[in-house]
Structures are given as C-alpha cells and as structure tokens.
C-alpha cells in the first residue's frame, strides 16, 4: 500500500516536472471523457423527456390514421387517402370493446384574423371528446358541446399560443375570430401543453367541431384520423388489434401490406423515438469515443518521448536497484495518473457542458452516476492500454546502455 502511494507520488512529481506538457496531454482525455459524459447525459435526458411525455399524454391512446406508413410501393399519405370515414368510426365505437372515448380528427392549415392580429395556424376538427382523449384541460371558457358538433357550428377553442397571439391583452372567450373569412366564436382556451413529441409547439392550434372543418373549411366527408382511448392501459394492445382487424374487414383488405390506414399506440410511437434517441446517442458516443482514443494515443506518444528523454534516469534507477516491475509500474502509473486526472477533470467538464446544453439550448440532459463511473473506468483503461507499451519499453532497457545514453 505504501509502495503504491510512493509510486503514485513519484509519478505525480515526474508529471509536475513537465506541467504544461502533462496538461496538454491530459487535455485529449479531458475532451474525450467530457464529450462521452455529455453525450450520455444528452441521451438519457432525451429518454427521460420521452418517458415524461408518455406519462403526461396517457399511455392508453390509439391513433388510427388514414393512409399507410407501410413498407414499399408508392403511398399517397394520409392527406390523399379518403377511405377512412365516419362509418368506420361508428363501427369501431359499436363493435370494439374497451373503448372509453373516440374522436374523429380532420385538420388543415388556416390563416386566422382577430382585430388587427393575424396568424397562420392549424385547425383540428374533433368532437367533444377530443380534449378528453388528449388529456387536455380547458383553461377558461367551455368545451365544444355535442350540439355544436351536430349542427356544425362555427365555434372553436384556442390553443394557448394562438390565444396569446391573437388576443395579447384581452380574454378571448366570447370573442369572434375569422378563419378563412368565416367568423368563429371562441368558446374557450386550452391549457398550455408545451412542446410536443418532436419539439413542435402543441399549443399552436385551433380546435373546432370536425363537422365544421369538414363542411365549411375542407369540403370533404372522410376523416383524417381517429383518436381512441382505451378504458385501461393494458387493453390498448387488444383494442389496437381489434380496430385493425375490423378496418381490414370493412375495407376488404386481404394483405396487411395493402392497408390504407395505420394503427399506432402511444407506446409504439414512443418506442420509435426512444430508438431514434438511442441511435443518435450511439452515433455521438462513437464520435466521443474516437476523441478518447485520440487522447490515449496522445498519452502513448508523450510517454514514449518521456521514456527517451529519461533514459539516463531509467538507467540510474536500475543501477540503484529498480527491478523491471518497478520501472514498469512507475511509467504505467504516470500514464494512468495522466489519464485518470484527465478523466476527473473531463467528468467535471462534461457535467458543466451538459448543464449548459440544458440551460442555453434547452436540451434535456441527465447525468447518471453510472456514466461518471463508466467514464472514469474507461479513462483509467485508456491509460493502462496506451501506457503499457512505453512502460514496457522503459522497463526492458539495458541499464548500461541507458546510463551511457546522451
């Protein structure tokens, strides 16, 4: 133990003798470790954010969209597929068990005007259950009423962003806005929901009866999407399967590849994004690992220079009784000290960088203690791996040659 401490002290002393050079060498490891820490933090942060969104969204929602995201062939996408209808919605509601709520969805982009303000936003057409399925509280005013849906009234709810843009300093409830020159009465304002799954502003929308959007804004009879909530979250899979089967039957589809609709659950969508986040993290991690590798090569390079420079010192140490393993241990300790000290500084830097990313760019990050441990072990391993060859070279010098070295 005292021996180890001695070796460490000798190593630190040797590194101090070339303080600037040691610092520059450690910089390679510092940058490598810092970027590994920051990348892992970014990855776990993204993951935590996704999890949180799933929790807030409710895990029991199923999206039935017109058009297929299926494999191969030319697909026209949801906008061009007109085969999803209100009859499908009715059939699903009647025939599939365990459905709590269901709303048809149609959407389009519109220019809206209120007073001297105007704004380009999207209109979502739904029924009175839309806000229930999406778990979206109403901040002020009232929800769409079933009567509004039936008679295709020109009423709407404003998303928080739209409300604040069109009515910067008055209560929008009861006001009239013009949507493509048609007057709509504002029945209420939705509570702010924040960023969506892909970072979009979820509050930038207007919610109106789907019948109104179909007839007055789009002139269509089909629907774009159905949002369904299951009665409980473990029924989601079953409901999704039954909807798929029912729609295939109604649309007379034999081959799943020919689906003109797609059924997805929040869980599935989250899965995709978790995978995407993982891929990104993996990519960034590999870049970070390369810099750690380069840092390691830097250590090897400097240690080789150091061995050459200190050939006489090595010869002398051998003459006064240093064994092969003593010299090996000394130079290995120097390399590992470099990489471990670099690793420690890199961890601090990585945490600081992660927090700055969150503060300045708003990216979610999460520094896991495990990642700190892994980075530290990795740094030490780099030191051992890249320090071994120079140390081995030093330990096997011929003492006579080494003492005579100029």
- The Cα–Cα gap between 31 and 375 comes to 12
Structure token digits, residue 102: 């269901």
For tokens 């910089």, the residue is 27
CB of 306 to another protein, least distance (A): 13
Residue with smaller CB distance to another protein, 240 or 328 = 328
CB of 24 to another protein, least distance (A): 19
- The Cα–Cα gap between 22 and 11 comes to 11
CA distances to 155, 206, 268, 344 from 57, rounded to whole Å, are: 25, 19, 13, 40
CB of 30 to another protein, least distance (A): 25
Residues 157, 210: contact at Cβ < 8 Å? no
Contacts of 101 (CB under 8 A, 6+ apart): 129, 132, 133, 228, 229
The three-state secondary structure class of 380 is helix
CB of 26 to another protein, least distance (A): 20
CB of 325 to another protein, least distance (A): 8
CA 399 from centre of chain: 58
CB of 393 to another protein, least distance (A): 15
Overall residue count recorded for the chain in this entry: 406
CB of 6 to another protein, least distance (A): 6
Residue with smaller CB distance to another protein, 3 or 55 = 3
Residues 63, 240: contact at Cβ < 8 Å? no
The CB density around residue 109, as the number of other CB atoms within 10 Å, is: 8
Q: What residues make contact with another protein under the rule CB under 8 A?
A: 2, 6, 10, 13, 17, 312-313, 315-326, 399-400, 403
Residue with smaller CB distance to another protein, 10 or 152 = 10
Q: In a 10 Å sphere around its CB, with 0-12 CB exposed, 13-18 middle and 19+ buried, how is residue 25 labelled?
A: buried
Structure token digits, residue 351: 């945490």
Residue with smaller CB distance to another protein, 154 or 329 = 329
Residue with smaller CB distance to another protein, 111 or 396 = 396
Residue with smaller CB distance to another protein, 2 or 255 = 2
Residue with smaller CB distance to another protein, 15 or 37 = 15
């Amino acid at each position: 133990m005292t021996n180890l401490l001695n070796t460490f002290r000798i190593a630190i002393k040797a590194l101090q003798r070339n303080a600037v050079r040691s610092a520059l060498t450690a910089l390679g490891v510092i940058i490598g470790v810092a970027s590994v820490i920051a990348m892992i933090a970014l990855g776990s942060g993204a993951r935590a954010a996704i999890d949180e969104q799933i929790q807030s969204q409710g895990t029991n929602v199923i999206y039935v969209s017109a058009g297929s995201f299926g494999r191969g062939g030319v697909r026209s996408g949801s906008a061009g597929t007109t085969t999803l209808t209100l009859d499908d919605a009715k059939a699903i509601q009647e025939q599939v068990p365990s459905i709590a709520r269901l709303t048809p969805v149609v959407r389009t982009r519109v220019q809206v005007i209120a007073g001297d303000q105007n704004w380009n936003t999207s209109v979502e057409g739904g029924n009175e259950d839309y806000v229930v399925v999406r778990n979206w509280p109403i901040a002020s005013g009232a929800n769409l009423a079933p009567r509004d849906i039936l008679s295709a009234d020109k009423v709407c709810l404003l998303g928080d962003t739209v409300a604040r843009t069109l009515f910067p300093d008055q209560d929008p409830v009861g006001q009239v806005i013009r949507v493509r020159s048609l007057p709509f009465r504002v029945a209420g304002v939705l509570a702010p929901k924040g960023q969506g799954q892909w970072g979009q502003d979820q509050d930038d929308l207007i919610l109106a009866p789907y019948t109104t959007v179909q007839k007055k804004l789009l002139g269509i009879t089909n629907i774009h999407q159905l949002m369904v909530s299951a009665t409980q979250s473990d029924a989601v899979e079953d409901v999704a399967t039954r909807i798929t089967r029912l729609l295939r039957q109604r649309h007379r589809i034999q081959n799943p590849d020919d689906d003109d609709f797609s059924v997805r659950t929040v869980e599935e969508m989250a899965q995709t994004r978790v995978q995407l986040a993982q891929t990104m993290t993996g990519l960034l991690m590999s870049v970070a690992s390369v810099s750690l590798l380069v840092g390691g090569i830097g250590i090897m390079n400097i240690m080789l220079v150091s061995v050459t420079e200190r050939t006489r010192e090595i010869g002398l140490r051998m003459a006064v009784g240093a064994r092969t393993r003593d010299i090996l241990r000394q130079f290995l300790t120097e390399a590992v000290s470099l990489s471990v000290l670099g690793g420690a500084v890199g961890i601090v830097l990585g945490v600081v960088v992660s927090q700055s990313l969150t503060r300045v760019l708003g990216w979610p990050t999460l520094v896991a203690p495990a990642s700190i441990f892994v980075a530290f072990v990795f740094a030490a391993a780099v030191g051992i791996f890249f320090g071994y060859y120079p140390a081995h070279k030093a330990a096997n010098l011929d003492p006579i040659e080494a003492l005579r070295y100029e």
